Structure 1
């Protein structure tokens, strides 16, 4: 028994444990473990607090993102409505412009027709006066013919113009 090495290892171990107990190593080890446990607990509390803050920040950013999305959607909707309004105004202005141009063109055409009709009447009157003067000058002679011719020409001119 005394010759076996396991016995002496056991004796040395018991003596070592006794010395450790007498010196108070167990208190130091327990104190170190307690400090480590407190440090780990503090780190866990900090981690938990940081996690909660991160969750709050994440929720805040999600809310901001949703708000920005809604605002962007409103901007797009308003822009589309504004574009439709501008397009309808442009269409109305174009239709008004076309109507005015058509009316102006029709007025010019009517004026040109009236002028052409007046020119035709004037030409017809001139032709009638010339024909009447030719016929009267050949059939009627003398001062009575001249007086009649002048009155007739004036009367035809007045009625045709």
Structure 2
């Protein structure tokens, strides 16, 4: 009997013991459990990946909404600024027109006052000149007659 024969018999006995102790079934069960765990981890990873993609899409959507809202706010602010600028221009133009009218009225009033002062001065000078001429040329008799005629004229005007 050869050593190879004994090695073969030892191998067959070893394999028989392994089969008797159900080692291949345990190895299969262990491999199946490991494969199930790997499949479960893959499913969890796939679920997490899908959730991350959904969250990323939601953040992109929110960012776009925020950008849109920001652009609307900027556009609204620009419209308000333009409206305020237009209103300020209109108010300043109205103010300038009112100030010009007021200045023109003051100038016209000053001109009227100056003309009235000149007229009053001319009347005073004319009255003074007439008074001095009358005083020089008039005697007591003529003055009395003028006084009487003036008095009668005033009486007639009052009645």
Report the TM-score when normalising by structure 1. Answer: 0.79
Distance 1:134 1:94, change over 3 A: same
**Gaps (5+ residues) in structure 2?**
151-159
Query: 2: CA distance between counterparts of 1:121 and 1:24?
Result: 142
Query: 2: CA distance between counterparts of 1:9 and 1:86?
Result: 105
Query: 2: CA distance between counterparts of 1:52 and 1:64?
Result: 18
Report the TM-score when normalising by structure 2. Answer: 0.80
Distance 1:28 1:144, change over 3 A: same
Per-residue Cα deviation, 1:88-130 (whole angstroms, up to 9, x for no partner): 1111111111211221121122112111110111011101111
Of structures 1 and 2, the one with the larger relative CO (CA 8 A, separation 6+) is 1
* TM-align CA RMSD: 2.6
Query: 1: CA distance between counterparts of 2:6 and 2:65?
Result: 78
Deviation at 1:13, TM superposition (A): 5.3
**Gaps (5+ residues) in structure 1?**
152-161
Deviation at 1:139, TM superposition (A): 2.7
Of 108, 111, 117, the match for 2:109:
111
Per-residue Cα deviation, 1:8-27 (whole angstroms, up to 9, x for no partner): 88775554333212211110
**Equivalences for 1:126-137 in 2 at 5 Å?**
126-137=124-135
Q: How many residues align?
A: 147
Of 88, 91, 94, the match for 2:89:
91
Per-residue Cα deviation, 1:22-55 (whole angstroms, up to 9, x for no partner): 2111100110110110111011011111111211
CA contact (8 A) 1:137 1:145 kept: no
